[in-house]
Amino acid sequence: MTPRRVLVAGGNGQVGRELARLADPARWELSRPDRSQLDLADEGAVRAALAQGRWDAVINCAAWTDVDGAESHADDARRVNAAAAGWLAQAARAEGLPMVHFSTDYVFSGTSEAPYAETAPTDPINVYGQTKLEGEELVMAAHPRAIILRIARVLSPHRTNFLKTMLALGAQRDQLSVVSDQTGCPTGASDAAGAALAVLEQMLDDPGRVGGIYHCTNAGQASWFELAATIFALAEQKGYKAPQLTPVMASEFKTIAARPRNVIMACEKLYRDFAIRLRPWPDMVAEVIDSLALPSPTDRNWK
């Protein structure tokens, strides 16, 4: 079988790099232009990139992911998180290409104790969440064969994330205070990338299949404190320094953007429709720590 040709927008981020690592070259040919090669804030460039008849599918990993920075750069965040996602979806539909787009648990306020299903009402409490929600709405309105995977608290060996920040701080300090009253569902960039490829394969194999919104996190939940404790317990076995951890309330730890308090994602729909279930999050954390020493795939094949 000829490999499926996939345009990966924002493909040099955490999830994009894991897509590059996981995609079997016998089955997938990924093109991952970076920002200098395809600026998603440029509508004409986005439409031109897709209108070349070169692709079988599109994955959009691009986003403004600086949650605090989005508060003072709402227009910039909105352009990539909402407008560009909509342009990609419109162009993908015009070309007849299935699309996978990533969104976030931050479309919810986190005030519910119960797990959130895909049908739960959205109510973002920061600019990042609001612009990602607008992106979801534009993608769903533009493309009946778009799949939105809502992921959360993404961890990987690449770029900046909570795991890498904890290890860096742990190396410098003997004591760390970590927020213990905000709970969520960690997601490995590798697990999100694997799910995207598995979903896309099923969409490509069945042209009659329609899209929709899916929650896609690793199994289980954790507060930031619990996540940090597991990170250091596993990292210590690998020779990293582990500081003493102190739980603190979010109210004692001011951030520019408000964060949801408690977002537990119910992921049964992904299993029901696509037979995809992600492993428990501690297994993913262990794998990320193991892979920190490995080189990060930054090679690109954008032509």
Ligand X SMILES: NC(=O)c1ccc[n+]([C@@H]2O[C@H](COP(=O)([O-])OP(=O)(O)OC[C@H]3O[C@@H](n4cnc5c(N)ncnc54)[C@H](OP(=O)(O)O)[C@@H]3O)[C@@H](O)[C@H]2O)c1
Site membership for ligand X, residue 190 (CB under 6 A): no
Site membership for ligand X, residue 35 (CB under 6 A): yes
Q: Which of 106, 116, 128, 214 is catalytic?
A: 128
* DSSP, res 176: E
Q: Across-strand partners of 178?
A: 247
**128 catalytic, yes or no?**
yes
CB of 2 to ligand X, least distance (A): 27
Site membership for ligand X, residue 15 (CB under 6 A): yes
Return the range that interacts with ligand X (CB under 6 A); candidates 19-27, 151-159, 168-176, 224-232. Answer: 151-159
Site membership for ligand X, residue 39 (CB under 6 A): yes
Residue 141 tokens read as: 């309105």
CB of 139 to ligand X, least distance (A): 11
Phi, psi of 3 (to 5 degrees): -60, 145
Site membership for ligand X, residue 218 (CB under 6 A): no
Site membership for ligand X, residue 217 (CB under 6 A): no
CB count in 10 Å sphere of residue 301: 11
Site membership for ligand X, residue 139 (CB under 6 A): no
Number of residues located near ligand X, criterion CB under 6 A: 26
Which of 34, 138, 47, 136 shows the shortest CA–CA distance to 95? 47
Which of 91, 102, 17 shows the shortest CA–CA distance to 54? 91
Which is nearer to ligand X, 39 or 123 (by Cβ)?
A: 39
What is the rounded CA–CA span in Å between residue 112 and residue 91? 36
CB of 63 to ligand X, least distance (A): 3
CB-based contacts of 5, cutoff 8 Å, min separation 6:
29, 31, 54, 55, 56, 57
Site membership for ligand X, residue 130 (CB under 6 A): no
**Alpha-carbon distance values, 255 to 53, 68, 72, 188, 259 (Å):** 45, 7, 13, 24, 8
Residues annotated as catalytic are 128
Contacts to ligand X by CB under 6 A: 10, 12-16, 34-35, 39-41, 61-65, 80, 102, 104, 132, 151-154, 159, 189
